[in-house]
Amino acid sequence: MQGSQEVWLVIFGRCLFGYALYQVAVRLDIILFNVSRPEHYAADYSKIHIYQNIGVIAGSFVIGFLTEHFSPSQPFFIAMIGFLITAVLLSWAYKNNAQPEININDPISKSISEPQTNS
């Protein structure tokens, strides 16, 4: 959609991409929150953001190379393939981590699993 000559299709593609990116970011945070331990939250989130920034920097170089050696629309097709791979991997990871295990001995898990009553 991004490589189209039609303006409305480019705008629609950007809106679709923004919504999908929002969904991926939120689900990634949920998965990380479910599999991480509270004392490791900061380090785990830092690792995620470092790798995201490395991806942005590497992506800029790859896009420049693809545009220089192939057609200007080629990066959009490569991005579509990457997005589809990411969507499949994310849905697989989300499906496998959808139900977090609750440890009864962990005070945080215990407070989440037990309903609170007003005394």
Cα separation values, 29 from 9, 60, 69, 105, 113, Å: 30, 24, 36, 25, 20
What are 52-74's pLDDT values in tens digits? 899 889 988 988 998 889 888 88
Predicted model pTM: 0.50
Please state the rounded mean pLDDT for residues 17-43.
84
Please state the separation of Cα 1 from the chain's center in Å.
21
Residue 103 is predicted with a pLDDT of 55
Nearest 5°: phi and psi at 63? -60, -45
Domain boundaries, the chain: 7-92
Rounded CA-CA distance 25/96 in Å is 17
- What pLDDT band is residue 85 in, cutting at 50, 70 and 90? very high
Is the Cβ–Cβ distance between 2 and 79 less than 8 Å? yes
